[in-house]
Amino acid sequence: MDKFIYKLYFKSYTNVFPKNSNYFERKNNHLLVFILSFYSLIALVSFSSSITLLPSYSQQQQENQQQEEYILIREWSSKGVAPGQFSQAADVAVDSKDNIFITDISSTSHAVQKFNHNGTFISSWGSLGYGQGSFVRAYDIAIDAQDSVYVIDANNPNQVLQKFTNNGTFITAWGSHGFGDGQFINPIGISVDSKGNVFVSDFGVNNHIVKFDSNGGLITE
């Protein structure tokens, strides 16, 4: 647990919540927490345990005594270029079947890797390049309700966002570098809502959030 923590991803047993969110809901008081370091993924399960206080304590005081505890479930992967390894892991997402997808911002052949919930490698895709299914720097990743996979390529000027099936088959791509509608300078975050709308944040000069439909049609920004 002495690794540099790069990203956090919260997943309850029935709901997925935004990365780095301060708000999340528990189901049966349990929550899975994925901690992504540069070279590995650490899976934890959290639960709350309360301390019994005297009746004279206020409700607020009792709530403040709630203790968050975490138990290590598993950790896997290491630094490397082979399938199942990472050069520089960038982001993590989980689908409805609890398969885990991780992007590698420095990979030249395994930009997106898929594992089952036990950490067993399933598949990977994404070589270095500018074409369909290739990436310059695969960064943020998100998964919609149909388990389609969306990946941001922050350094590709002609296809900022790519959409794939759950198994990595290319579906479509959209977004270019620029200052116009639906364009980006430094895209750094992606999220998909329950209706399949795709939200991409653009840090820097543009400083905006752009909303698309699931096929890349611009809705608003």
Note the pLDDT tens digit of each residue in 97-127: 989 898 988 888 889 999 988 888 999 999 9
Tokens describing residue 43: 């899976």
CB 31 within 8 A of CB 12: yes
pLDDT at position 220 is 87
The CATH number of whichever domain residue 215 belongs to comes to: 2.120.10.30
pLDDT at position 152 is 94
Each residue's pLDDT expressed in tens, for the chain with a length of 221 residues? 333 434 444 443 333 333 333 323 333 344 555 666 666 665 555 444 433 334 444 455 445 445 556 666 677 787 888 998 888 888 888 899 989 898 988 888 889 999 988 888 999 999 999 999 999 999 899 999 999 999 999 888 899 999 999 999 999 999 999 998 888 888 888 999 999 999 998 887 777 899 999 999 999 87
33 Cα distance to chain centroid: 12
Question: What gap in Å lies between CA 202 and CA 3, rounded to an integer?
Answer: 28
Total count of domains within the chain: 1
Q: Amino acid identity of 161?
A: L
CB 184 within 8 A of CB 160: yes
In terms of DSSP bridges, do strands 127-128 and 134-135 run parallel, antiparallel, or are they unpaired?
Answer: parallel
Domain limits for position 78: 5-220
CB 71 within 8 A of CB 31: no
In terms of DSSP bridges, do strands 183-184 and 176-177 run parallel, antiparallel, or are they unpaired?
Answer: parallel
User: Rg for the chain (alpha carbons), in Å?
Assistant: 19
pLDDT at position 75 is 76
CA distances from 16 to 83, 135, 141 (A): 26, 26, 13
pLDDT at position 131 is 93
The two counts, helices (H) then strands (E), for the chain are 1, 20
Question: What gap in Å lies between CA 220 and CA 209, rounded to an integer?
Answer: 9
pLDDT at position 20 is 37
What residues are paired with 193 via a beta bridge?
none
Residues 6+ apart with CB under 8 A from 198: 142, 144, 150, 161, 190, 191, 192, 211, 212, 213, 214, 216
Among 61, 107, 62, residue whose Cα is nearest residue 84: 107
Is the full-model pTM beyond 0.85?
A: no
